[in-house]
A and B are shown apart, each in its own frame.
Chain A
Amino acid sequence: MNKVMSNKWFITLYLLPALLLLTVLIFIPLLLTGYYGLMSWDGIGAMSFIGLDNYINVVQDATFWQSAGHSFLLALFSTLSLLLYLAVSLILASKIKGANVFRKVYLIPMLLSSVAIAQLWIKIYNPSNGMLNTMLGWIGVENPPLWLADPSIVLYSIFIPILWQYAGFYILIYYAALKGIPETIIEAAKIDGASPLQIALRIKLPLIMGVIKVTIVLAVVGSLKYFDLIFVMTGGGPNGASEVMASYMYKLAFGSYNFGYGSAVGFALLVITLIVTYIVRRLTANKEDIQY
């Protein structure tokens, strides 16, 4: 039996397609990104080796750091919005009828493509007849902002649809975690006279802390590599006011054919994402995870 189940030919044959795709299309390109970063290259012509120049330029590139700053601001907003999602999930999980329907309805935006969401929100933000400014007009706002054209607010205008898009996803995760708490623990607290608020803050939240930490990592990492919606809604503009790391990289490579420098920025994006993931994981490491 064991002999059949350790047939080397069979193992190799069945592993090969997946392993080949993983290596050739995910791992090798990653290494190549680092390598291309050492080159001066327009993507089509010959490469010439220029050492660490591109990487040194990235470190000194004010535009790169500005877009990195925008990415980090998005990470901060996404993390803070988790509080809101958590509050909704606490209400949703408190044994009420229809919770299932609500949590599914909340999920709908996440199923749509970022491109469709971006186009939809461009229309919502439209200054003359978009949904938002029409509503503001009803309550008497005379000069509503130009949501996507004003450099001082464009970044926040873009954050809103991103938070909208992912709300259902996080609510779903929190809801599942809260539903996993054994009923007996809540009952015991009720008998001891704990108020619903106390139960939520002192019992439920600590019990799902592991899941909360995971969602923080997801929100931060997801924000650092965020691209689609921003690319479609503003293309990083006006004047770089909504540029993020990934959109800057894209613009360098496929907008101005600076593949060498674009690769260096892509590699910086990878390094920053990995370092921040590591730090966030360390900060939220489970020293004493609660078992129940």
Chain B
Amino acid sequence: MRMRTTTALAGVAALTLLTGCGAADMTKQASPYANAQGARTVTLSVQSWVGAQANVAVAQYLLEHELGYRVDTVQVDEVPAWDALSQGRVDAILEDWGHPEQEQRYVQDKKTIAAGGDLGVTGHIGWFVPTYFAKKHPDVTNWKNLDKYADLLRTAESGGKGQLLDGSPSYVTNDKALVKNLDLDYQVVFAGSEAAQITQMQQFAKEKKPFLSYWYTPQWLMEKVPMTEVKLPPYEEGCDADPEKVACAYPVTPLQKYLNAGFAKEGGKAAEFLKRFKWTTEDQNQVSLMIAEQKMRPEEAAKKWVDGHESVWKQWLP
């Protein structure tokens, strides 16, 4: 019996020693793969859409080849990425579509994330139909006439209503509320991921079938499947404040970069470079198309773009 108590005591003592008796702040922990073998590492968050992959591919290529860093990338959804960024598990998000709640919490209140400036690309979300369909039925581009075409847009998944194809659950969307508040004869069908949504749209386009989809610009698929936006009631400041009562279009968002606060201060050349990183919609689309359509590997696509645009990226180098 005594033996057992001694063992237990020793165990507790060992545990205390092991944990260093002190506090461990898990909100400040880098990824275990960071800075291996003395290399300076930057961890970038890649979101699940290809435009974001293009940003990361080019930033990674330049960080590795011009500044001598090792770059790790992790794919995380948008909202959790903010959390990971504040913990330092990723160092930077290069393309954010506007998350006011998170911005308030982490940038203003906790000061664990620092703003990194404009990406240079302006984003816009909306409802789109393929241009071949809009040409045949020009009035489909106004939401008031959408109900006329509900029959044409019906699928097995949407039941008796027209199908409004939505993508990944992580994206900013008011579509369910919009359909309800505008009283449309449509059913929102979530593809569950952007990959699934794109695959479905390409299949529709191949057969020149009509479809109505939640989509956004800039997006490389626009080059392959030209699409026309459907006009929704115009956006006004604050009309999307109550998510239940939204009945207006999506705003136009200048996309933002965010850095982990510690990294922004002590990240040296890498942080400086990422703050200066700024390019145009065409640049981004070029790289996206190479990755998604020509199926080039991201690093090859980045190399090709970097080789042709020296004057652009020279300005980013610290």
Asked if A and B are interacting partners, one says no
Give residues in A with beta carbon < 8 Å to B. none
